[in-house]
Structures are given as structure tokens and as C-alpha cells.
Structure 1
Amino acid sequence: MQKFIPPNGLHIRPSRPTDKVFLEKLHHASRQDLQLIDGERDFIESILAMQYRAQTQGYGDKYPNAMYFIIEKHWEPIGKATVDFGHNEVRLVDIAFMPQARGHGFGRAIIQSFQQAAAQSGVPMTLTVLQQNQAAMQLYAALGFTVECYQEPYYLMSWYPPVNKVASSS
């Protein structure tokens, strides 16, 4: 794998408690499906807040050692990534971007940075993706991920780092 060089102005930093407002805004922007609920605005907002709390709690329960990152472009938050650096894999638990930051190659760049970390550790990188999310499936396939199994409604995909060939002396 070639050395990763992020796009100009793009970087990742650990999430801080002060990022809560941004993370709630990002969750709200990422859940267009919930905004289609037929109901009063207050009811929809309460559902969005409940889903955000459930997601946060669920990640904490399932991946207690996960690291939470904020993705920034020129020091402005544009997305988030949740990654569990386990003993046997690097698991991309979640990645999301604000609508205006989508489609610019930032997700590709961030995933490649985590692939580089996995390669340096000599472990595969895994993730799950909704079956209906064809754009993400295409991106992951282009980055070398392959489908390992299907558990409705998600595909488990894996990427394995290249094997370094050791020259043998005869």
C-alpha cells in the first residue's frame, strides 16, 4: 500500500466533549429517513434525539474500546468516524459526513488512512454496510474490500493488507 497523503486541509482528530453539538447536527443531517415521518416537528425531533442516544449507547456497548474521531477540512468539522482498533482487526464502526462534504473524496481519504493503520498493524480492516447503500458498496469495493457474509440488512466487508514478501537467503 502506498503512503497515504490526505487532501489539502483534511485531517482527523479525536472527538472532544465540546463536539456534542456538531455530532447531534451531523446525526440529524444523516437521518433523512427519520425526517420523513408523518408527525409534528417536535415529535420528529424527539425521535432523532432518541435515535442519536441509542446509537451512541449501542456503539459504547458493542465497541467499548472504540475511538471517536472528528473529520475536519481547514479546521471546520465536516464528519465523524468511529473506529475500533482491536487485536485482530481494525473495525470501521461508523463514518458520516455533512451533506455539503459528501462526494468530494473525503470518505475515501479517511478510509485509506485507516487502511494504512491496519496495514501497519498487520491486521484486516472490516466494516458493515447496508445492502441498499450501493454508493458505499462501490467505494468499499474500489478500496479493495470484499463481501465476507450477509446478515440482513448488512454486508460484512473485509480488506486485507498486502503481504510483505520477505526475501529468503539460500
Structure 2
Amino acid sequence: MPLTAAVLLRSAALSDQEFLDALYLSTRDDLQALAADPALRPMIAPMIAMQQKAQGLSYQASYPGAEYLVIEHAGAPVGRAVVHADADGLRLVDLSVLPQARGQGCAGSTLVQLQQRAAEGGCELHLTVRLANTGARRLYERLGFDVVSDDGLDARMRWRP
């Protein structure tokens, strides 16, 4: 589906935390299933906070200086991208889009903007994707990413300008 408004990338701010919390939950089918059980609902918020914090600490340790970007479409936040620059080029560490915004070109537009940034810097764009995530893999391949390696669980992909 073509976009009717531009997709913008901007730095995440403290005021984005509520959105980022909702986005994180939307990517966790396992936690959503737990939330369906009324007896488990009181435990969901602390679990989300703990796992989100662990993810953030892991990213900070593995990708110091990474950019945390909010993806906006039609003036509203719809996703997040974490991008890290290193000696190999740019690495897309994480790309998440709200379920209601999927299939509208937001992730594709974000990737094209990152490809433009990589091309301007004369570098490659790298990412890792779960082999089971066939929709994302198709998108990456359509945008010119090649599989460099896979370990049976994840594929490492690269785009060259």
C-alpha cells in the first residue's frame, strides 16, 4: 500500500517512553498471551519493564553510541529503529513497527532512508533477521539486501551501495 504521507525518522525523546512501551508490548506475542489471563495481568507490567530494560542494557553494551529513532507517519509515532555506526558501516540493530502500521510501507521507507544514509557515507548497511520472519526477509531482499550467512536461526544480511 503506498504511503500518503512521508515517513520521518527523529531521535527518541523521554516523552516517547509511553509509546515505546506500547510498541515493545506489541512485538511480544508471548506477553500478550499472558495478559489474556486475568490472574497473570498484574505481573505483565513488571515483566515488560524488566525485559525492556534488559534489551536496552544489552543494546547499550553491544552498540555504544547507537541512535534510537522514532518512526513517524502522518505525524504519529508508528515504530522505532536502532542504528549503530561502526567500522563495517551502519547496522540496523532493531526495527519495530506497530501492528496497525505494518504493510503500509513504513518499514520499507525507513530502510530506504537508512540505505541513502549508508550510500552517502560510502558504507554498507547490515542487519540480522530471524529466518522464521519471512515477511521481513522478503522486504529486505526486495530492497537489495543479500544473505551473508545464517546460523539456522538468524540470517545476517548486507546491503551495498
Common topology (TM > 0.5): yes
Aligned length: 156
**Residues 87-136 of structure 1 deviation map (CA, whole Å, 9 limit, x = unaligned):** 32110000111111111011001001000111111111000001110000
Q: Which residue pairs with 1:135 in the alignment?
A: 135
More divergent stretch after superposition (115-124 vs 150-159): 150-159
Q: Which residue pairs with 1:58 in the alignment?
A: 58
1: CA distance between counterparts of 2:20 and 2:76? 13
Q: Which residue pairs with 2:13 in the alignment?
A: 16
8 A contact 2:147–2:155 mirrored in 1:
yes
- Of the candidates 13, 23, 28, which is equivalent to residue 25 of structure 2? 28
**Residues 1-170 of structure 1 aligned to structure 2 (within 5 Å):** 8-37=5-34, 40-161=40-161
Shift of 1:10: 2.0
2: CA distance between counterparts of 1:9 and 1:113? 11
2: CA distance between counterparts of 1:69 and 1:159? 20
8 A contact 1:7–1:109 mirrored in 2:
no
Identity percentage of aligned residues: 37
1: CA distance between counterparts of 2:23 and 2:98? 6
8 A contact 1:30–1:96 mirrored in 2:
yes
Which of the two has higher C-alpha Rg? 1
More divergent stretch after superposition (54-63 vs 144-153): 144-153
1: CA distance between counterparts of 2:43 and 2:60? 26
Moved over 3 A (4+): none
8 A contact 2:63–2:84 mirrored in 1:
yes
